[in-house]
């Protein structure tokens, strides 16, 4: 696994800066919410802001950030969509993992 993150590694085309940047981009409740809402269907900034109850300007900034990391895209008519169909179940699974209760550690003292 560590070889995939070596500088110049061609393994799976992984670039550590790109990976960590994308991870940081989704490390926000707002941006996760936007990705989940976009997974349902394409939407405009205004639709997303209304649906998620976010400020329109902040929604637009978050979408631009997600777009810079290749996670969402905007059509010429201003409609946003996720980069690929696989991202929605992956994001939903990530949310489930983070929010699921943790079992107590077996050898906790």
Q: Is residue 12 situated within a structural domain?
A: no
Q: Is residue 87 situated within a structural domain?
A: yes
Strand ranges inside 1-109, DSSP E? 72-74, 80-82
| Domain CATH code at residue 62 | 1.10.10.10
In tens digits, the chain (109 residues) has pLDDT values of 334 334 444 445 666 667 788 888 888 889 988 998 898 899 999 999 999 999 999 999 999 999 999 899 999 999 999 988 888 888 888 778 777 777 767 555 5
Domain encompassing residue 89: 27-97
Which two three-digit tokens encode residue 83?
């980069």
3-state SS class at 9: coil
3-state SS class at 43: strand
Q: Is residue 71 situated within a structural domain?
A: yes
Q: Is residue 19 situated within a structural domain?
A: no
Q: Looking at the 3D structure of the chain, how many domains does it have?
A: 1
């Amino acid at each position: 696994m560590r070889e995939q993150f070596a500088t110049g590694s061609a393994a799976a085309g992984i670039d550590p800066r790109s990976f960590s940047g994308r991870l940081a981009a989704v490390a926000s409740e707002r941006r996760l919410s936007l990705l989940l809402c976009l997974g349902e269907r394409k939407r405009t900034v205004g639709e997303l802001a209304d649906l998620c109850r976010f400020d329109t300007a902040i929604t637009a900034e978050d979408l631009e950030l997600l777009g810079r990391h290749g996670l969402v895209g905007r059509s010429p008519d201003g409609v946003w969509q996720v980069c690929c169909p696989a991202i929605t179940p992956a994001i939903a699974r990530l949310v489930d993992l983070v929010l699921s209760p943790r079992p107590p550690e077996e050898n906790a003292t």
